């Protein structure tokens, strides 16, 4: 791969996409979907190149969270004050040495403070999380330095509430960033996040962040509204044994089932009409897969939302008089027990 030369316009991006596909001898029909950010030039480039595509989940989630972090002025001020403290320690060797001595005296973890960066929302999460961990050491240090302004008691409380509110979003970001993540997880993740924001326990733990909670929910609704109409997400979710139809509405589940059947019929017709194919490819057997060794530590209240959404949307299967082979297989699949979300699908 090499950088795109010239202006990154939609036209140039489309041209480069096709050049890369040709250079790698990849037929256009073999490219099922492209994942890209929400930049207008990327969206236009993929459209001009005539590829099916989806927007990057993490990039979209980042934009939603960043917008919500700005809706309450007190939250913005709290983060800015904490950032100034972190900058002081990370740019002064003497300050780091003194902070380390205080950490030892107070038996606190001997950790450096974390500086956030604008392109990753979770770096701000880690920054305020580390500030909370080192609250006693920082307060003791600031008490001896008149030039530094410490966080107020209200700001410390607000910081703790932000951690409580954003912890599930951090976990989702971390999981989706791993090599195990797939597009089938998006619908269930969004559904569980919405459920979490609606829970009474969430409101009780974050009483001073009502505007931020409302903003997060509105952002999720707006930015991920289209996924319920996107076949890539629907089919992937439907065919993932961890989710099946439990995160889809009744109409979406039936529509997705019909799309899968239609795709199967199209494939069957193409295979039948192909003179070069003497037989259909053998179907791959599904052996038992080992569970991933990657640890996924759960946030109890949040992860319960997955099962709650699944149970709420669970529906009985409709009996049909005429069934072809793939329809029967789909019905058998839907009747089988949904596997745990931590299992490897």
Q: Which one of 12, 35, 55 terminates a domain?
A: 55
Q: Which one of 178, 194, 220 terminates a domain?
A: 178
- Domain-located, residue 101: yes
Q: What confidence tens digit (pLDDT) does each residue in 205-252 have?
A: 999 999 999 999 999 999 999 898 899 999 999 999 999 999 998 999
pLDDT of residue 305: 78
Closest CA to 220 of 199, 246, 194, 200: 194
> Do both 1 and 97 map to the same domain?
no
> Do both 25 and 87 map to the same domain?
no
**162: pLDDT confidence band, cut at 50, 70 and 90?**
very high
**133: pLDDT confidence band, cut at 50, 70 and 90?**
very high
pLDDT of residue 286: 39
> Do both 48 and 93 map to the same domain?
no
- Domain-located, residue 172: yes
**94: pLDDT confidence band, cut at 50, 70 and 90?**
very high
Whether 112 shows a pLDDT value over 60: the answer reads yes
> Do both 73 and 146 map to the same domain?
yes
Q: Averaged over 72-84, what is the pLDDT? A: 96
Whether 277 shows a pLDDT value over 70: the answer reads no
Q: Averaged over 61-81, what is the pLDDT? A: 96
pLDDT of residue 317: 41
pLDDT of residue 282: 47
| Token output for 18 | 């096709």
> Do both 139 and 91 map to the same domain?
yes
Question: Do 82 and 130 touch, CB atoms closer than 8 A?
Answer: no
| Token output for 57 | 């989940």
pLDDT of residue 314: 64
Q: Averaged over 256-283, what is the pLDDT? A: 71
pLDDT of residue 33: 86
- Domain-located, residue 133: yes
Closest CA to 294 of 331, 344, 235, 229: 344
- Domain-located, residue 338: yes
**256: pLDDT confidence band, cut at 50, 70 and 90?**
very high
Q: Count how many domains the chain has.
A: 3
Task: Write the DSSP string, 268-295.
Answer: HHHHHH-TT-SSPPPPPP-PPPPPP-S-
Phi then psi for residue 34, to 5 deg, are -110, 140
Helices within 178-294 (DSSP H only): 186-198, 200-205, 210-223, 231-238, 250-273
pLDDT of residue 276: 53
Q: What confidence tens digit (pLDDT) does each residue in 18-51 have?
A: 988 998 999 888 888 888 888 889 989 989 999 8
- Domain-located, residue 117: yes
> Do both 44 and 104 map to the same domain?
no
**1: pLDDT confidence band, cut at 50, 70 and 90?**
low
> Do both 111 and 164 map to the same domain?
yes
Q: Averaged over 117-121, what is the pLDDT? A: 90
> Do both 142 and 247 map to the same domain?
no
pLDDT of residue 185: 94
pLDDT of residue 321: 40
- Domain-located, residue 241: yes
- Domain-located, residue 8: yes
Question: For residue 101, what are the domain limits?
Answer: 61-178
pLDDT of residue 34: 87
**170: pLDDT confidence band, cut at 50, 70 and 90?**
very high
3-state DSSP assignment of residue 34: strand
> Do both 252 and 162 map to the same domain?
no
Q: How far apart are the first and last CA of the chain?
A: 31
> Do both 135 and 96 map to the same domain?
yes
> Do both 93 and 159 map to the same domain?
yes
- Domain-located, residue 203: no
> Do both 16 and 100 map to the same domain?
no
Alpha-carbon span 280 to 99, nearest angstrom = 69
**Average predicted confidence (pLDDT) for the chain:** 86
pLDDT of residue 283: 45
Q: What confidence tens digit (pLDDT) does each residue in 284-330 have?
A: 443 444 444 444 444 566 777 777 787 776 644 433 444 567 888 88
Alpha-carbon span 97 to 56, nearest angstrom = 41
């Amino acid at each position: 791969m090499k950088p795109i030369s010239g202006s990154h316009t939609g036209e140039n991006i489309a041209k480069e996409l096709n050049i890369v596909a040709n250079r790698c001898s990849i037929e256009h029909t073999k490219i099922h979907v492209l994942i890209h950010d929400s930049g207008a030039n990327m969206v236009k480039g993929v459209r001009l190149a005539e590829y099916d595509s989806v927007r990057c989940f993490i990039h979209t989630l980042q934009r939603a969270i960043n917008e919500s972090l700005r809706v309450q002025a007190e939250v913005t001020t709290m983060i800015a004050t904490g950032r100034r403290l972190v900058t002081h320690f990370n740019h002064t060797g003497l300050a780091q040495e003194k902070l380390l001595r205080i950490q030892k005296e107070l038996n606190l973890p001997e950790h450096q403070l974390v500086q956030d960066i604008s392109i990753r929302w979770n770096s701000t999460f880690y920054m305020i999380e580390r500030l909370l961990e080192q609250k006693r050491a920082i307060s003791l240090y600031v008490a001896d330095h008149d030039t530094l302004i410490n966080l107020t008691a209200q700001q410390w409380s607000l910081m703790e509430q932000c951690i409580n509110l954003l912890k599930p979003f951090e976990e989702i970001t971390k999981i989706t960033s791993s090599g195990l993540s797939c597009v089938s997880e998006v619908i269930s993740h969004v559904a569980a996040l919405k459920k979490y924001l609606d829970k009474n326990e969430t409101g009780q733990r974050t009483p001073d962040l009502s505007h931020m909670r409302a903003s997060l929910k509105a952002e999720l609704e707006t930015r991920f509204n289209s996924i319920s109409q996107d076949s890539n997400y629907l089919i992937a979710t439907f065919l993932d044994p961890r989710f099946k139809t439990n995160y889809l509405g009744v109409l979406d589940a039936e529509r997705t089932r019909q799309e899968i059947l239609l795709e199967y019929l199209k494939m069957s017709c193409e295979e039948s009409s192909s003179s070069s194919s003497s037989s259909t490819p053998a179907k791959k057997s599904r052996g038992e897969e080992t569970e991933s060794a990657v640890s996924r530590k759960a946030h109890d209240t949040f992860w319960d939302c997955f099962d709650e959404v699944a149970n709420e949307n669970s529906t009985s299967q409709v009996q049909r008089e005429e069934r072809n082979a793939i329809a029967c297989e789909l019905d058998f699949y839907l009747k089988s027990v949904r596997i745990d979300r931590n299992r490897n699908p």
